[in-house]
Amino acid sequence: MSISDTREHVIMIDDECQATENNEIAAIDYELQQIENEVQKLQDRRRLLTQRKEKLRDDALLKKSFFLAKKNWDNADFIWSVKLIEILKNVFKIEKLRELQLPTMNAIMSKEDVILIMPTGGGKSLCYQLPAVMSKGITVVVSPLVSLMEDQLYGLRKLDIKANMLCAKADKESIKMTMTALVDKSCPLKLIYITPEYMAKSNRFMNKLQKAYELGHLERFAIDEVHCCSQWGHDFRPDYKFLGVLKSMFPGIPILGLTATAPTKIIVDVQKMLDISGCLVLRASFNRPNLYYEVRRKPADKETRLAMIENLLKNRFNGKSGIIYTTTIKDAEQLTTDLRDRGIKAGCYHAMLEANYRSEVYSKWMLGKYQVVVATIAFGLGIDKPDVRFVIHHCVSKSMENFYQESGRAGRDGKKSVCLVLYRLADIFKLSTMVFQDKVGLQNLYKVLAYCLDQTSCRRSLIATHFEENWKENDCAEMCDHCRKPISVRKQIDVAHYCRQLYQIMTKAVQNEIRLTALKLVDAWYWKGVSSLRVSNVPVPNFTRETAEAIIGYLLINGYLQEDFHFSAYSTISYLKRGPKSGLVSGDNDHKILFNYELY
């Protein structure tokens, strides 16, 4: 055999060895991918079982509350019953109590600890205000927002009920008067509203409160927005943890916790944190039958967006009073200016405005001089304006609980009102950078995204499912945009193919050392933007960018995509990368990702 033949033979053997190695590597990669797929399935199953286990434990704890619940609290046979109805009519000018108000008041006046879950507008505040008027001592109301306290004080003073407020902005004279009232049994003050931050930081107040307790002058604690106690809650406030000392410091003093929105897990957590496990839990139905729920696509173009809002205010909501919620102070101020330029009577409200200015805006809105208040969520909690005919969310809420509370400002008089969400995927990534460091921030935000992306389900059914309440779609009575639509053909499409295309774009971005925002990803998919991100075998989609964004949003909330947060000098930026379920759609397997849509 010649030298050249020997070389060819060696090369052939090397090629065969290389081919064998490549085949073996491919087989190993395939087996590893199969294992990864099985691991993902097992992790999903583990998560479901863990959630089920936690729910069973929570249910077991709540059963302790059933003993108290068996007692008939909803009757007028208590020693205070006659006086209660008398004060209701003569002082509060109310003829009839609403659902669960009487049981709550009877229980708290029997010195039982109570947690009341009642929809916004259901009348939670009366449950501690009326007992406070009936009692000789003082009721301390812990509330998270100054605007809420100001609103309630405004209403109480109109009824000639003595109440005061303690917060960082309270003046010295008011603080002095309140501190004195705590230890003066002859003082007519009935209610003290206080922020949890002030309570946690004021040794002077806690000292006076202890003296009031020793004098028998402390009647009860009412903790509004009690879900803020729980780290699982959508509005967790660290200073609420301080309230865990109340039971040990003031034994025998009942606690009334109030919230509009709290799933079982949070209620159990709150009971543990406040040391009131086994207390009476009263839960009203979440449903507000007079509210119409609707989601609209939010135009990307500012002028188009403003024209749409202007059209709503001048036509559909002409002559009607409402609220537009924004995410930031800057958004609130800019939108107010833009609407005024278009002839809309609008006021701006946020926490950084001077108290006098906020009060002026509030008064003008209450009197009808402003058609709409453009505000951050600092506005509206507990407002006593019954004829709010619409609530528009200029940006999606951070959680379903926030959405339910904010939309619940509408229609407190029981008349039909509209709750309209303006949805755009870009807003999700704006909010995610604000909430991703919270324990359940992204989880809560993605539930709102799922609500907005759903193109077929009854809105009420979606809300009911979130709040663990049974609901049938035909119970909606066409009071949501989906149930009011004509009968349509509902279909599912498999978007796994599009997911693989997006992964190809992401791979090329990694090769080019480029991080992808959602906007850049959509641009690359449509062969726009940076040319180096375009992939030759990924065609331009034959559907709209709105559909493309919906697919990306769906892949995100289902774990096929994942946000990757990076800090810059001035902000936090959200990029997209492959999610934990990416292995399920890698290669040529037949894994399906079914996405609901409608054909009209």
Assess whether pLDDT exceeds 50 at residue 49. yes
Q: Are 246 and 252 in contact (CB under 8 A)?
A: no
Indicate the domain borders of the chain: 1-63, 71-283, 291-432+443-450, 492-599
* β-pair type (191-194, 163-166): parallel
pLDDT tens-digit profile of 548-561?
999 999 999 999 99
The mean pLDDT of the chain is 87
Average pLDDT over every residue of 80-103: 94
pLDDT at residue 53, rounded to an integer: 76
Assess whether pLDDT exceeds 80 at residue 471. no
According to the CATH classification, is domain 291-432+443-450 in 3.30.460.10?
no
pLDDT range class, residue 437, cuts 50, 70, 90? confident
Average pLDDT over every residue of 172-178: 90
Average pLDDT over every residue of 131-138: 95
pLDDT at residue 26, rounded to an integer: 73
pLDDT range class, residue 490, cuts 50, 70, 90? low
Residue at 535: amino acid letter? V
Residue at 190: amino acid letter? K
Common-topology check for domains 291-432+443-450 and 492-599? no
pLDDT at residue 387, rounded to an integer: 92
d(CA 289, CA 210): 45
Q: What kind of architecture, by CATH, is found in domain 492-599? A: Orthogonal Bundle (1.10)
pLDDT at residue 295, rounded to an integer: 96
Structure-block tokens of residue 526:
């449509």
Any idea which of 142-151, 210-219, 408-417 has the lowest mean pLDDT?
142-151
pLDDT at residue 13, rounded to an integer: 60
Name which of 381, 598, 394, 570 is nearest 489 in CA terms. Answer: 598
pLDDT range class, residue 448, cuts 50, 70, 90? very high
Assess whether pLDDT exceeds 90 at residue 491. no
pLDDT range class, residue 452, cuts 50, 70, 90? very high
Any idea which of 11-15, 85-89, 145-149, 280-284 has the lowest mean pLDDT?
11-15
Structure-block tokens of residue 466:
């979130």
Q: Given strand 280-283, what is the order of strands in its sheet?
A: 163-166, 191-194, 138-142, 218-224, 255-259, 114-117, 280-283
Tokens 């916790």 correspond to 257
Residue 378, CA distances (Å) to 289, 350, 351, 489 in order? 26, 6, 6, 42
Average pLDDT over every residue of 395-408: 90
Q: List beta partners, residue 347.
A: 373
| CATH code for the domain defined by 71-283 | 3.40.50.300
d(CA 387, CA 371): 11
Higher pLDDT, 164 or 467: 164
Residue at 368: amino acid letter? G
Assess whether pLDDT exceeds 90 at residue 326. yes
pLDDT tens-digit profile of 344-401?
999 998 878 887 888 889 889 989 999 999 998 766 544 668 899 999 999 999 999 8
pLDDT at residue 473, rounded to an integer: 67
Contacts 24+ apart (CB under 8 A), 84-91: 84/130, 84/134, 87/130, 87/133, 87/134, 88/130, 91/133, 91/159, 91/161
Name which of 201, 220, 209 is nearest 139 in CA terms. Answer: 220
Assess whether pLDDT exceeds 50 at residue 205. yes
Burial of 2 (0-12, 13-18, 19+ CB in 10 A): exposed
Any idea which of 38-52, 250-264, 459-473 has the lowest mean pLDDT?
38-52
Assess whether pLDDT exceeds 90 at residue 228. no
d(CA 47, CA 312): 44
pLDDT at residue 566, rounded to an integer: 93
pLDDT at residue 443, rounded to an integer: 92
Assess whether pLDDT exceeds 50 at residue 230. yes
Average pLDDT over every residue of 67-93: 90
Q: Which residues contact 239 (CB under 8 A, 6 or more apart)?
A: 195, 196, 197, 199, 200
pLDDT range class, residue 307, cuts 50, 70, 90? very high
pLDDT range class, residue 46, cuts 50, 70, 90? confident
Q: Are 256 and 108 in contact (CB under 8 A)?
A: yes
Range among 46-60, 128-142, 378-392, 431-445 with highest mean pLDDT value:
128-142
Higher pLDDT, 85 or 24: 85
Average pLDDT over every residue of 2-15: 60
Higher pLDDT, 388 or 53: 388
Q: Which residues contact 351 (CB under 8 A, 6 or more apart)?
A: 146, 147, 329, 376, 378
